[in-house]
Structure 1
Amino acid sequence: MESLADVPHFLVASDNSTSTNSTDLIYGFVSCAVSVVFYGSNFVPVKKIDTGDGMFFQWVLCAAIWIISLVANIILQSPRFWPQAMLGGAIWATGNITVVPIVKTIGLGLGLLIWASFNLLMGWASSRFGWFGIEAESVGNPTLNYCGAGLCLLSAIVFFFVKSDVQRPATAEETPLLIDNTVNSSSQCSTDDSWVDMLPPLTKRLVGTGLAIIAGIFYGFSFVPVLYIKNHSNDRNSTFSGSSQFDLDYVFAQFSGIFLTSTVYFLIYCAFKKSKPQVFPKAVLPGFVSGVMWGMATCCWFLANHYLSPVVSFPIITTVPGLIAALWGVLVFKEVKGLRNYLVLILAFCLVLSGALLTAFSKV
C-alpha cells in the first residue's frame, strides 16, 4: 500500500485545494440563501404600520442594525476598526432615507426590484471592472457572468411594467403583523399624513421610481470602501497595509457609519420640523425587527463576498430578494392584481432565476 509520503505533493495539494474550494462554495451559497430570504422579507413587519415620512422609522431600523454589528464584533473578538469603512455605511444610510416613500408610492415588491437592479449594476460593475481604485474581480466563466448579470438587470426592467395597487396601511379593519391595533394609539399617531400621501397617482409612480433608482445607486456603492481597504492590504505604502481579508471584520465599522449617519439625519430632520417630528410609537417594535433582519442579511452578504467574490454575490443577492418581496406583495398584501400583471411577473421571475443561476455557475 502506498503511504502518504509516496504520493506526489502536487496531488495532495490539488485534493486539498478542491476540498477548500467546494467548502467555500457551500458557505458562499448558503450565505446567499439566508441573505436573500431576509432581504426579501425585512420590510414585511412594517408594511401595515404607520411610519409617517420614514425618518423616525429609519433611525429605529439603523439602531437595530448597529446592535447586530455589535454582537458580530464581540463574536469576532473585536477586529481592527477602520474608520474609513464607515463611509460605506454613510452612503447606504443616505440611500435608505428613500425607502419609506418608495414603499408608499410604488409598493414593497416593485420598489425593491427597481432599487435592486441599480444596486446590481453599480455593485457588480465596480467589482468586475475595478472602479474607484479597487481590484477588478475575475471569474471562471466570464461569459456566464455577463449573461447572468444582464438577465438580472433585464428582469428589473420587466418588473417596471407591473402595475401595483398600493393601499394606505393599518386601517380600522386591519391588524399590523406584530402588534395589536389598539396599542399606543393616539390622535397624534393614528393618521399618516406625510407628503407622499398628497401626491396624485401618476406623480407617485414617477417619484417612487426615481427614488428607487437613487436608492439603488447608493446601495451599490456602499461596499466600495471595504473593498478598497481590502485591495490595498498588500501595499506597504498604503494606509491600509495589513488590513484583514475577511469581509465580516468590517461589519462593525460599516454599521457604525450607518447608525451615526442616520442619527445625524434624524437630528437635522427634528430641527427642520422645529422639534415636532412625526414619531409613531407603533413603528418601534416592527422597525427594530426589520433592522435585525436587515443586519443579519448584510452579515451574510459580507460572508458571500468573502467566499464567492462580489462579482458573483451581487447579481444573486440584489435581485432574488425582489422575487421574494414580489411574492409577499402578490400573495399577502395584494399589491398586484390582474392576469396581465401576473404574466409579466412570471416572465420577470424566470429572468431573475436564470440570471442568478448563470451567475452562480460562472464561479464553478
Structure 2
Amino acid sequence: MFRLKMSRRLWVFVATLLMVSCRRTDQGDEQAASEKVETFDFTFNSTNMTHFAYGIAANAAAALLYGSTFVPVKRIETGDGMFFQWVICAAIWVVSVVGDMMLQSPKFHPFAMLGGVIWATGNMAVVPIIKTIGLSLGILIWGSSCLLMGWASCRFGWFGIAAQDVSRPILNYCGAGLCLLSGLIFLFVKTDVELHPNSDSIPLLIDRRSNSGSYGQSSSEFWIDVIRPKTRRFIGCLLALVSGLLFGSSFAPILYIKSHSSCHDSMFHGASGYDLDYVYSQCCGIFVASTVYFTIYCAAMNNKPRVYSRAILPGLLSGLMWALATYCWCLANNYLSAVITFPIVSAGYGLVAALWGALVFREIKGTANCFIFFLATCVMLMGSLLTAVSKR
C-alpha cells in the first residue's frame, strides 16, 4: 500500500512536469522574450477559473507533502540529525536533476543557490526540534514563522524584491494575521514527545570499536538528553522559530532574480519569470551546503560520525516528498502569486503535520489540548480562505 501511494505521487510529479514543459513550449518566443509571470485575476471566464483551480490544487499538494515530509523518520532513531539531514538533501538534489532534465535544462543561476544554502542551514535543526517539542508543534511553529517571513517579504518588498499588490489588501492582511495567530495558539498545546524511539535504536557506526563492544546509552546520548524538560521545550521552540525564518527567506533569491529580470542594467536582465526554472539551482545549493556541514561535522567528530543505517531509506523518502512539494509550490506561484501561496502553504503544511502528530503519533492528549488544537485549526483555515480570495 505504501509503495502504491509513493508510485502515485511519482506519477503525479511526472505528469505535472510534462504539463509544465508542454505549456512552456506552446507559449512561443513572444512570451519567452517578455518573461512575465502569469498570475490569476478573478474574472469569471473558464480559463482563469481553470488556472485558479490549478493553483489551489498545487497548493494543496504542496501542503500535504511538506506536512508529511518528516513522518517517515518520526519513529526512527536519528541521533543528532546531521547524517539524516545530509541524506534528505541528497535525495532532494537527485529529484531536482530529474526535474531539470524534464524542463529541458533552463539557465542555471548560481545566485539562486543562496536560497538552498539558507534552507539547508535551517534544516540542520529539524531533528532536535522534533525530538524536543514533537512533529506537530515543531512544524506548526516553524511554519508560522516561515509564513510571516515569506509573506512579509513578498507583500512589502523586502530584500530587494518587488512588492506584490493584491486587489483586497485588507483581506490579505487579515488572512495572514489569522494564519499567524493560529500558530501562536498552537504554542499552548502541550505535546507528549519521545526522545528516543523504542525501535531502530541501534546505530550502524557509533563507538563500534569501544572497549565494551556494546551499544550503551552513552553512545546515543547528545545534548538534548542532558537538559531539563522545560529548558528542552524552550530550546525546541526557539530553534523552530529560527528555522522557520530561514525557511521563509530561502525563496528570496529566486524572487529577487525574477524582480530584476526586466531591469536593463541588472545582471539578471532577461531571466526567466517561471519559478520552476530555479528549483534545480536552489537544490544544488541545498546539497552543497549540507555536504559542507556534514564534512565539518565528521571532522569535529574525529571521523566517527553518528550514522544510523535505519534512517537512510526514510530519509530518502523524506527528501523525495520535500522536492515534489517544492515543485508543486512553484507551480502554484505561476497561477497565483507568492503573496497568496505563502500563507496558504505554510499554514496548510503546519495543519497536516499537526494532524499526523495528533491522530497517528498521539502527541496531543487531553480534552483541553484537543480543544485548543481544534480552535487553532479553525483560525488557520479561515486565514487561508481570506488569503486565497484577497487577489480578487
Q: Distance in 1 between matches of 2:141 and 2:202?
A: 35
Q: Distance in 1 between matches of 2:42 and 2:320?
A: 39
> Is residue 211 of structure 1 aligned with residue 239 of structure 2?
yes
Alpha-carbon distance, 1:16 to partner? 10
Alpha-carbon distance, 1:15 to partner? 12
Aligned residues: 344
Q: 1:284 to 1:189 in 2, by over 3 A?
A: farther
> Is residue 192 of structure 1 aligned with residue 220 of structure 2?
yes
Worse-matched range after superposition: 321-330 or 103-112: 321-330
- Other-structure match for 2:186: 159
Q: TM-score, normalised by structure 2?
A: 0.84
Among 57, 63, 71, the residue aligned to 1:36: 63
Contact 1:50 1:192 in 2 (8 A): no
Q: Distance in 2 between matches of 1:158 and 1:331?
A: 19
Question: Where does structure 1 lack aligned partners over 5 or more consecutive residues?
Answer: 1-13
Q: Distance in 1 between matches of 2:268 and 2:90?
A: 28
Alpha-carbon distance, 1:170 to partner? 3.1
Give identity over the alignment, percent.
56
Alpha-carbon distance, 1:109 to partner? 0.3
Q: Distance in 2 between matches of 1:269 and 1:43?
A: 22
Task: Give the letter for the 1:357 counterpart.
Answer: L
Q: Distance in 1 between matches of 2:382 and 2:305?
A: 45
- Other-structure match for 1:335: 363
Deviations 1:180-230 (A, max 9, x none): x89969855996322112221001101000000100110110010000001
Alpha-carbon distance, 1:168 to partner? 3.0
Alpha-carbon distance, 1:24 to partner? 2.1
State the SS of the aligned residue for 2:220: coil
- Other-structure match for 1:10: none
Q: Distance in 1 between matches of 2:163 and 2:215?
A: 52
Q: Distance in 2 between matches of 1:183 and 1:257?
A: 29
- Other-structure match for 1:133: 160
Question: How well do the aligned residues superpose, as a CA RMSD in angstroms?
Answer: 2.1
- Other-structure match for 2:285: 257
Contact 2:42 2:391 in 1 (8 A): no
> Is residue 270 of structure 1 aligned with residue 298 of structure 2?
yes
| Equivalent residues in 2 for 1:232-311, closer than 5 Å | 232-311=260-339
Worse-matched range after superposition: 103-112 or 162-171: 162-171
Deviations 1:49-77 (A, max 9, x none): 11010000000000000011111101000
Q: Distance in 2 between matches of 1:144 and 1:197?
A: 45
> Is residue 147 of structure 1 aligned with residue 147 of structure 2?
no
Q: 1:345 to 1:89 in 2, by over 3 A?
A: same
Contact 1:102 1:209 in 2 (8 A): yes
Q: TM-score, normalised by structure 1?
A: 0.90
> Is residue 321 of structure 1 aligned with residue 361 of structure 2?
no
| Equivalent residues in 2 for 1:81-120, closer than 5 Å | 81-120=108-147
Alpha-carbon distance, 1:17 to partner? 9.2
Alpha-carbon distance, 1:20 to partner? 3.5
Q: Distance in 1 between matches of 2:278 and 2:391?
A: 24
Alpha-carbon distance, 1:43 to partner? 0.5
> Is residue 78 of structure 1 aligned with residue 85 of structure 2?
no
Question: Where does structure 2 lack aligned partners over 5 or more consecutive residues?
Answer: 1-40, 209-213
- Other-structure match for 1:23: 50
Q: Distance in 2 between matches of 1:311 and 1:357?
A: 13
Among 79, 92, 95, the residue aligned to 1:68: 95
- Other-structure match for 1:121: 148
